[in-house]
Structure 1
Amino acid sequence: MEGPIGIIDSGVGGLTVVKELRNKLPNESIIYIGDDKRCPYGPRPAEEVRQFTIEMASALSKMGIKMLVIACNTATAVALDDIRELFNFPVVGVIVPGARAAVTASTTGKIAVLGTLGTIKSGAYSMEIAQQSPSATVFPLACPEFVPLVESGQYKSDYASTIVDRTLSNLAGKDFDAAILGCTHYPLLEDHIKKSLPANVKVISSAVETVHDIERELKERNILNESKQSVEPIFYTTGLRTAFHEIVCDWLFIENPDVRHLTL
């Protein structure tokens, strides 16, 4: 089935899912919406995040998508069930795959969760990890400064390293062997994060595991694109096209990406 896969995020974070999806399923066409104008979602009230998520899903529904991926952890935490009820296409979130990957990777059952204020406050990861491994111990940590670092394009800077190191110092003394990057923005800070955590800690990106779920869902529903012709993604941003364009070029290695402005 040749319809596009829609991917939504509060900003550029979901590009980490796009990157994995292009590597794993290069023949699938992708339409992406990043709500940069209203980013970050983490500090916002749940009802507001839910409304924003519905707006993005509605826009993609009109574009004829065959599947929706909510690549934002905060939006997944508060709106996944609502979106599944409102639309007919299959909807994949990022929390269940991320929790599953961490439970599998951890040998001690002690897992840190790095996330936005909204994701941590929701307790979504703690609940999902407990469901998959009742004996697990979870150390949740809100990292409110991480998303602005990524959105502003400073994720490779020394300043970013300082902010990450300072934030993760709150986990000092905690004993864990796996850490979930519970926000799709965070893989862009992964090098800094790994340097700030003990060497034995496995850092888990929900983006990689989410793509496994996407592939499985496509196959089960018989809507995998069997065409051998790859199509370049289309990107929409509600914010500034120039800033978004630069991050797409840098992170996805697309020389001249198709970045358009969208008003929701």
Structure 2
Amino acid sequence: MTNQPIGVIDSGVGGLTVASELMRQLPKERLIYVGDTLRCPYGPRPKEEVIAYTWELVHFLLKRNIKMLVVACNTATAFTLEDLKSKLDIPVVGVIQPGARSAIKVTKNNKIGVIGTEGTIHSRAYPDALHHINSTIEVYDLACPDFVPMVESGVLSGSHAMQVVEGSLKPLKNHFEIDTLILGCTHYPLLRDAIQTVMGEHVTIISSGEETAREVSTILGYQKKLFQGNRKPRHEFYTTGKIEVFQNIARDWLQTDMNQVRRVELEEVVNYL
């Protein structure tokens, strides 16, 4: 059991921000990552479609005998996490609860902003998670639908990226005195520098990757499923879209050889277990 890989799913390349933190905190663990770049973004899609696509990703990984599933997509987490937990016999971790916990730890004025896809924002998953921990938190959320397509196309910096980020965040920056901002989409950390510049240094930016990886480590440790030997693991990366675009972004973000990225066609899942 300890030798089995950890499975990571995302709508595209954004989950690599979580994978990077998993690789840093758990350097002996092997990852199998699959990003559905062909059908990204998930944010504008109907809930039923997101659920169907998520289960296709999950079934792909279950065939590879994973010991744990990390849903590194906020929209998929919001729509499928509880169902996945109830139906799978392996631990399942999402990115919303860890992100909420991180934000509450650092806020000084209890005013927290959340940016995410339309699906994540409309689900109210972050306000619910934050208020479950602290009902006095003031939450100001904002959908930023232009961010994911920009990241998936490889535009992470420069004048165009700054223009898009500034225009998208204007309502949040101009009307609310937040001191903490949750990046409620795993694509958004790839735009972190631009977001920080626009929001100002007084706003603490929260990415859920670090806290999610910590939770994965804790769960695997408690269940005695951490790999015990010595090795430099060989990770596997799959994409449903163009390999070259995935490789370029992944190589820059993970600072590792990405020549082993493979394209995969997912099978439709009729019965969700």
The equivalent residue for 1:15 is: 16
The equivalent residue for 2:241 is: 239
The equivalent residue for 1:166 is: 167
The equivalent residue for 1:51 is: 52
Q: Aligned-pair distance for 1:232?
A: 2.4
The equivalent residue for 1:182 is: 184
TM-score, length-normalised on structure 1? 0.98
Q: Deviations over 1:203-248 (max 9, x none)?
A: 0001111111111111111101112202121000000111111111
The equivalent residue for 1:253 is: 255
Q: Aligned-pair distance for 1:59?
A: 0.8
Q: Aligned-pair distance for 1:173?
A: 2.3
Report if the CA contact (8 A) 2:114-2:139 is conserved.
yes
What code does the residue aligned with 2:224 have? Answer: N
The equivalent residue for 1:90 is: 91
Q: Aligned-pair distance for 1:166?
A: 0.7
Q: Secondary structure at the match of 1:48?
A: helix
Q: Distance in 1 between matches of 2:159 and 2:3?
A: 43
What code does the residue aligned with 2:222 have? Answer: E
Q: Deviations over 1:70-117 (max 9, x none)?
A: 000000000001111222111000000000000111011100001000
Aligned residues: 264
Q: Distance in 2 between matches of 1:147 and 1:154?
A: 10
Q: 1:256 to 1:120 in 2, by over 3 A?
A: closer
Report if the CA contact (8 A) 1:50-1:78 is conserved.
yes
TM-score, length-normalised on structure 2? 0.95
Q: Distance in 2 between matches of 1:79 and 1:131?
A: 19
Q: Secondary structure at the match of 2:252?
A: helix
Q: Distance in 1 between matches of 2:135 and 2:217?
A: 28
The equivalent residue for 1:207 is: 209
Q: Aligned-pair distance for 1:126?
A: 0.3
List aligned pairs for 1:51-200, cutoff 5 A: 51-171=52-172, 172-200=174-202
What code does the residue aligned with 2:240 have? Answer: T
Q: Structure 2: any 5+ residue segments left out of the alignment?
A: 267-273
Report if the CA contact (8 A) 1:234-1:257 is conserved.
no
Q: Aligned-pair distance for 1:198?
A: 2.8
Report if the CA contact (8 A) 2:44-2:117 is conserved.
yes
Report if the CA contact (8 A) 2:250-2:258 is conserved.
no
The 10-residue stretch of structure 1 (219-228 or 122-131) with the greater mean CA deviation from structure 2: 219-228
Report if the CA contact (8 A) 1:95-1:125 is conserved.
yes
1:4 aligns with 2:16: no
List aligned pairs for 1:221-236, cutoff 5 A: 221-236=223-238
Q: Distance in 1 between matches of 2:225 and 2:78?
A: 26
Q: Secondary structure at the match of 1:155?
A: coil
Q: Deviations over 1:136-187 (max 9, x none)?
A: 0000010000001110000123211110011111111211110000000000
Q: Distance in 1 between matches of 2:259 and 2:94?
A: 25
Percent of aligned pairs with the same residue?
Answer: 47
Q: Secondary structure at the match of 2:175?
A: coil
Q: Secondary structure at the match of 1:42?
A: coil
Q: Aligned-pair distance for 1:254?
A: 1.1
Q: Distance in 2 between matches of 1:233 and 1:157?
A: 31
The 10-residue stretch of structure 1 (64-73 or 220-229) with the greater mean CA deviation from structure 2: 220-229
The equivalent residue for 2:269 is: none
Report if the CA contact (8 A) 2:238-2:261 is conserved.
yes
